[in-house]
Amino acid sequence: VVAGEVSPPTAEDETAFSEAELKKNYRLACTTYPKSDVKILVPPESLSAPQRTQVEGLELKVQPEPPVRGLPLRLHPPTLDKPESDDQNLMAALQEQHSVSAGLIDIEVQRLMPGVLRRSGWSASAAMRGHEIVAIGDHATRWLGLAADIGTTKIAVYIVDMASGETLASRGLMNPQISYGEDVVSRIYMSSRSPENAQTLQMLLVDALNETSASLCAEIGADPADIVEAVIVGNTAIHHLFLRLPVHQLGVSPYVPAIRSAVDVKARDLGLRFSPGAYVHLLPNIAGYVGADHVAMLLATEMDREEGIHLALDIGTNTEICLNCRGRMKSVSCASGPAFEGAHIRFGMRAAPGAIEHVRLSGEKLEIQTIGGVPAVGICGSGLLDVVAQMLSNSVIDPTGKMHPHPLVRRLDGSLEFVLSEQNNGKTVTVSQRDVRELQLAKAAIRIGIEALLEDAGITEKDIEKVIIAGAFGTFIEVESAIAIGMLPPLPVGRFEQVGNAAGTGARLALISESMRRAAGRIALIDGYIELASIPDFNRKFAAASSMTWSI
Residues 176-235 binding a second copy (CB under 8 A) are: none
The set of residues, in sequence order, having a beta carbon less than 8 Å from that of 194 and lying 6+ positions away, is none
First-to-last alpha carbon distance for the chain, in angstroms, is 46
Q: Is 239 in the site for a second copy (CB under 8 A)?
A: no
The set of residues, in sequence order, having a beta carbon less than 8 Å from that of 55 and lying 6+ positions away, is 156, 157, 158, 170, 171, 172, 501, 504
By beta-carbon proximity to a second copy, the closer residue of 236 and 390 is 236
Measured CA to CA, the distance from residue 284 to residue 185 in angstroms comes to: 20
Q: Is 131 in the site for a second copy (CB under 8 A)?
A: no
- Count CB atoms within 10 A of the CB of residue 281: 23
Measured CA to CA, the distance from residue 391 to residue 245 in angstroms comes to: 46
Q: Is 248 in the site for a second copy (CB under 8 A)?
A: yes
By beta-carbon proximity to a second copy, the closer residue of 91 and 388 is 91
Among 54, 73, 86, 316, binds a second copy (CB under 8 A): 86
Binding range to a second copy, per CB under 8 A, among 176-184, 240-248, 451-459, 540-548: 240-248
Nearest to 284 by CA among 510, 501, 513: 510
Provide the mask over 513-542, with x wherever binding to a second copy is found by CB under 8 A and - wherever it is not. ------------------x-xx--------
By beta-carbon proximity to a second copy, the closer residue of 133 and 483 is 133
Smallest distance, a second copy to C-beta of residue 534, A: 5
DSSP-derived 3-state class of residue 363: coil
What is the residue-wise DSSP string for 463-481?
A: G--EEEEESHHHHHS-HHH
Smallest distance, a second copy to C-beta of residue 74, A: 17
Binding range to a second copy, per CB under 8 A, among 260-268, 337-345, 366-374, 497-505: 260-268
DSSP-derived 3-state class of residue 219: helix
Smallest distance, a second copy to C-beta of residue 269, A: 5
Which residue type sits at 290? V
Q: Is 130 in the site for a second copy (CB under 8 A)?
A: no
Among 1, 38, 92, 258, binds a second copy (CB under 8 A): 258
What is the residue-wise DSSP string for 292-308?
A: HHHHHHHHHTTGGG--S
b/e per residue 513-552 (b: at least 16 CB within 10 A): beebbebbbebbeebbbbbbeebeeeeebbeebbbbebee
Smallest distance, a second copy to C-beta of residue 305, A: 25
Peptide bond into 254 cis (omega under 30): yes
Binding range to a second copy, per CB under 8 A, among 156-164, 256-264, 400-408, 462-470: 256-264
Provide the mask over 264-283, with x wherever binding to a second copy is found by CB under 8 A and - wherever it is not. xxx--x--------------
Size of the site for a second copy (CB under 8 A): 45
Among 156, 287, 389, 520, binds a second copy (CB under 8 A): 287
- The answer to whether 56 touches 474, Cβ cutoff 8 Å, is no
Q: Which residues bind a second copy (CB under 8 A)?
A: 78-80, 83-88, 91, 104-105, 107, 110-111, 113-115, 118, 243-246, 248-249, 253-261, 263-266, 269, 285, 287-288, 531, 533-534
